[in-house]
Amino acid sequence: MGKNNLQVISDFDWTMSKFYNKGDRTPSCHGIFEEAPNVTPEIQNQIRIIRQTYEPIEWDPTIPISMKIPLMVEWLDLTHKAIASSGMHKDALKASVNQWNIALRYVCIF
C-alpha cells in the first residue's frame, strides 16, 4: 500500500474508454480537467490551449507519424505538468473523474 504502489491508468485517446457513453460524448482523461470544478480557470485554460495546439496535429493525416510522435509526447508532458501544477489533492482528483459518465469498452472489462 501507499504512494509507492499507486497506479494510474490514463486513457488519453479513448483506447480503453468509450468515446460515447449512453449517447453522450465523454472527455479524454486530460479533457476532464478542462471543466473540472476543482481546477482553477487558469489551469483549465492552459490545458485547453495545449489541446487546441496539439489536437489538430494528431488528427492531420498529412503529417507523418514519425513527426507526430514527439509532438504527442510533448502534448502529454505539458498537460501532465499543468495538472500537477494545480496542486489537486487525491480526493479532488477522484471527484473530478467521477463527475463524468466514463465507461470502459466492453473488451477492456474482461
Question: What is the rounded CA–CA span in Å between residue 77 and residue 91?
Answer: 23
Helices (H), ranges, the chain: 32-35, 41-59, 65-85, 90-98, 106-109
Dihedral of the alpha carbons of 32, 33, 35, 38, in degrees to the nearest 10:
120
Q: Does the structure show a pLDDT above 60 at 110?
A: no
Catalytic site includes residue 24: no
Mean pLDDT over each residue of the chain, to the nearest integer: 82
Q: Where are the domains of the chain?
A: 27-102
- Tens of pLDDT, residues 9-45: 655 566 667 677 788 877 777 788 888 888 899 999 9
Catalytic site includes residue 60: no
Give the residue, 65 or 105, on which the prediction is more confident.
Answer: 65
Which of helix, strand or coil describes residue 21? Answer: strand
What band does 50 get if pLDDT is binned at 50, 70 and 90?
Answer: very high
- Tens of pLDDT, residues 28-38: 777 888 888 88
For domain 27-102, the question of CATH label 3.20.20.150 is answered with: no
